[in-house]
Amino acid sequence: MQSILITGAAGFVGLACVKYFVQKGYKVYGLHRQASQSPIISQAGGIPVLGNILSPGQSRLPVTDIIIHAAAHLGKWSHNREYIEVNINGTQNIIDFATANHIKKFIHISTEAVVFNGKHQLNVNEKAPFPQTGYIYAATKQQAENIVNNASDTIQTIILRPRIIWGPGDRTLLPLLIDAVKQKKFMWINHGTNLVNTTHIYNLLHAIELSLNYTKTGETFFIHDDETLSIKEFYSRLLEKKNIKTPARSIPRSLAIAAAWIIENTWQKLNIQSRPPITRFGAAVFSTNFTIDIQKAKSELGYKPVISISQALQKADC
């Protein structure tokens, strides 16, 4: 029986990985930070490992055949230090552990944001270079990818870049959107007409499983549902399944971007801990045409979505 260590095992992607690979017959260890999260890992069939990627030497990590590095800092409003600690230092620590213990395969869950420049981009592929970015999440995930790639001659590494992960267990973007709509704080930017791709969690899990049988090292793959639609169409359909009607209100992109700059700078200067009503990164994502090409994943991994957006939306737990 092959074994897998999953970081961020109590998070959206990590917990989904625990459940999925337990069902596939792997011995799965779930690394998580809080003791209160241990029952969640156990209920999913995994073996809880209480610890922190910031101090793996103190966490007594198990030596496994595979590591799926799903831990990341995103979604929550915080200052740059936390992004650097988790996304950069944490990744370096886990890579160091993997190389020191000759882990056979290291799968890093990254993001399309590493090539996002805040401008309209269509059909971006893996050859796109990292742009200089002022978005701390994107910048730290860029550095995380560099750390992983630098180890690709020592251990087998694969990087997956999903786009807008959604589905059962999402505790990141969708809950924030629902809360904003219910509190009447939400409005579209440019009427939500910008084009996006999305990645259902089942499709991401399928891509991760395909990666386990992939033999090359140092490769990167974009992953999504193989559908392109406007951000308004996607979230309106998703919220409709939750019996929530999205508002028609909208503001121009230029106004949203300017407001986000002012608000975010104010929050940082005054050290305000609460979430700002809008961030620069959020304003850009919700107003920019940004689509990606998954042909490489199709041709090299044999990737094909296992569920369509329409099929997923028909499920009660979408």
Calculate mean pLDDT across residues 124-136: 95
The distance of Cα 117 from the centroid of its chain, to the nearest Å, equals: 17
Q: What pLDDT score was predicted for residue 72?
A: 95
Burial 296-317 (b: 16+ CB within 10 A, else e): bbeeebebebebebeebeeeee
In a domain, 150, yes or no: yes
DSSP state of 11: S
Using the predicted structure, report yes or no on whether residue 273 has a pLDDT greater than 90.
Answer: no
Residue 175 lies in a domain: no
For residue range 157-189, what is the model confidence (pLDDT) as tens digits?
Answer: 999 999 999 999 998 888 888 988 999 889 999
What single letter denotes the amino acid at residue 108?
H
Q: Does the residue 104 lie in any domain?
A: yes
Are 23 and 1 within 8 A, CB to CB?
no
Tell me, yes or no, whether 204 lies in a domain.
yes
For the chain, percent of residues with pLDDT exceeding 70: 98
Name the nearest CA neighbour of 193 among 234, 247, 246, 241. 234
How confident is the model at residue 58, as a pLDDT? 67
Q: How far apart are CA 158 and CA 156, in angstroms?
A: 7
Residue 269 lies in a domain: no
For residue 123, name the pLDDT band (cuts at 50, 70, 90): very high
Give the pLDDT confidence of 56-87 residue by residue, as tens digits. 776 789 999 999 999 999 866 667 888 999 99
Task: State how far the Cα of 92 lies from the Cα of 87, in Å rounded to an integer.
Answer: 9
The average pLDDT across 22-39 equals 96
Instruction: Supply the pLDDT for residue 48.
Output: 97
| pLDDT in the model for residue 60 | 86
Residue 59 belongs to what domain range? 3-170+198-227+292-311
pLDDT at 164: 95
Is 75 domain-assigned? yes
Number of domains forming the structure of the chain: 1
Kindly state whether residue 238 falls inside one of the protein's structural domains: no
pTM: 0.95
* pLDDT higher than 90, residue 276: no
At 268 the pLDDT is: 84
For residues 224-246, average pLDDT: 94
Q: 57: domain CATH number? A: 3.40.50.720
CA distance 261 to 255: 10
**Is 254 contained in some domain?**
no
